[in-house]
Amino acid sequence: MDQRKSWLQLRRTIGKHVARANKSNVKHVSIKLFETNVVRGRGILARAILANVLTEPDKHAVFASLVAVLNSKVPQIGELVAARTVALWKYLYMKNDCTRIFRVLLFLCELIKQKVVEDVVLLQILQLLVEESVTDDSVHLASFALENISAYLDKNAKTSANSIYDQLRNMLQEGGLSEKRRNDIQYLLEHRRNRPKYLIDPELDLVEGTDNATHYVDLTDLQEPGTDLNYFQEDPEFEVAEATYSQLQRQILAEEVRQERPSEKVEHPQKTTDMTDKTLLQHQKTIYLTVMSSMSADEAVHKLLRVRQKQKLEQAVLVDMIVKCCAQEKTYSKYFGVIGEKMSGMSQEWNNTFTNEFQQKYDTCYQYEGSQLRNMGKFFGHLIASDNLRPQETLGHVELTETGTNSASRVFIKFLFQELVEEMGVNEVKRLIQDPEVKPTLRGMFPVVSVDESDQAHIMFSINYFTAIGLGVLTEEMRQVLKNLPEPRGRRSSSSGSYSDSASYSRSESYSRSPSRSRSGSRSRSWSRSPSRTPSREVESKE
């Protein structure tokens, strides 16, 4: 077969199909493209898509949807388009080509919405525009991008988005911008206050969430645009490559058919990563040195994402290592809390990873020492206080009963709530646990919803616990609920006032010994303001 003739035919076919793409035929065009060798022709395909983005700006969402479909089956295509898009934006930015900069940036926003590209690169661009080289044009460009993607960022990277908006507010106060740019910022802030919904046009939302292959691109890195893929090159293994793609093509087209039959369940083999203890230890050392060598939390997050990309670390592994680094410190450092805050706010996927990490660490508290429990409790307390982790999915995971907790988990909870009170104030914490949306999910810690006489021991234990750690103000509603509960039969004479005595868990074995406690029965230091209570040993573990 004449390879050059085949290449020319491939180039014409790809160009023709890309040019025909519109809102109603994206799926059809993607199938037509899969019928050609898009692996061999991915350079032509990426060039054709970007050329159309520059000449047909009204179709940026269409081309982003097309890339998302192609990327779900052949991730090399999405990776190449992402790299070329960022490289093209940097080139146009240096040339100050305003018209085309706007078009490329809008296309990048759509790729992020379609989850082809991680939002980190856009946040870097926005930071560049509003912090490092502020002009009327840069503010216009930043406002334009935020107007198109603000709903997505508020949902998936709220902390980082808040930082950008704070910079824009400061510009309004400081002055120095033209009236038109000031109006742009005011309109943008008003637009955000109206809470626009993050929606993708149903006709363009064609990829299931599990099929997304999201690519990380760093603005400060030198992108490899793969320009050699645009041109014909003789391939000595041409026939083998064509046969390999034919197999992939059959799988892709067969998958398209199966999607028309949702009742047929396709099982995918579970991918596992084997890491030896030596490898994990080396990764842990790298993560720790990366964090401690950074001058700020922003720099640390940036470096950690690069380490993750280079070492192919899963999100869960990276997050676990960050929490362990925090736990190993002699005293808790809020530096780690801010790192966790920024990472958990990058996207919903990262947020879910931190939530899962909380649940896993709480379930295995017994494996850690007192100082480690203190650091981890304060770390997660900061994430909840900063509104990055939902209390429904973190605190709602805890069942505060005598049998549902152990000495280690009670120490963990103590320091978590101490951090919440320190950062939010006790009244704000009280409002949080009494929020109508939150209250039903916290029944394990604050049993005040759907309770009966069988929950009396649970309520009393929770009251005693929070009173012993100095947070009796959080138990007021539980005390009222307990007071109104009918007494269990046969216990009218003995149980009515038991929650005012020493806590029921105070006799349990201490998690860590306190040097100030003697065998003589003398009163020890108490976290409670009531002189009649004796706190448990676990809540007095050394800080």
Which domains can be identified in the chain, with CATH numbers? 3-206 (1.25.40.180), 278-484 (1.25.40.180)
What's the pLDDT at 538? 40
Closest CA relative to residue 287, chosen from 334, 331, 332, 323: 323
What's the pLDDT at 109? 94
Q: How far apart are CA 45 and CA 15, in angstroms?
A: 7
What's the pLDDT at 323? 92
Sign of CA dihedral 206, 208, 213, 217: positive
Q: Which portions of the chain are predicted below pLDDT 70?
A: 1, 133, 195-199, 209-211, 255-278, 487-543
What's the pLDDT at 451? 82
Burial 281-309 (b: 16+ CB within 10 A, else e): eebbebbbebbeebeebeebbbbbbebbe
Token pair, residue 337, equals 């809390």
Token pair, residue 467, equals 């009173």
Q: How far apart are CA 74 and CA 55, in angstroms?
A: 26
Token pair, residue 109, equals 């926003």
Cα angle 497, 503, 507; round to 5: 130
What's the pLDDT at 1? 56
What's the pLDDT at 352? 92
Are 529 and 521 in contact by the 8 Å Cβ rule? The answer is no
What's the pLDDT at 498? 47
Task: Record the pTM.
Answer: 0.54
3-state DSSP: the chain helix, strand, coil percent, rounded to 5? 65, 0, 35
| Structure confidence by residue, pLDDT tens digits, 288-303 | 888 888 878 888 888 8
What's the pLDDT at 385? 92
524 Cβ contact list (under 8 Å, min separation 6): 514, 516, 517, 534, 535, 540
What's the pLDDT at 256? 60
Q: How far apart are CA 84 and CA 438, in angstroms?
A: 45
Q: Is 341 helix (H, G, I), strand (E, B) or coil?
A: helix
State the residue for tokens 């793969």.
226
What's the pLDDT at 133? 67
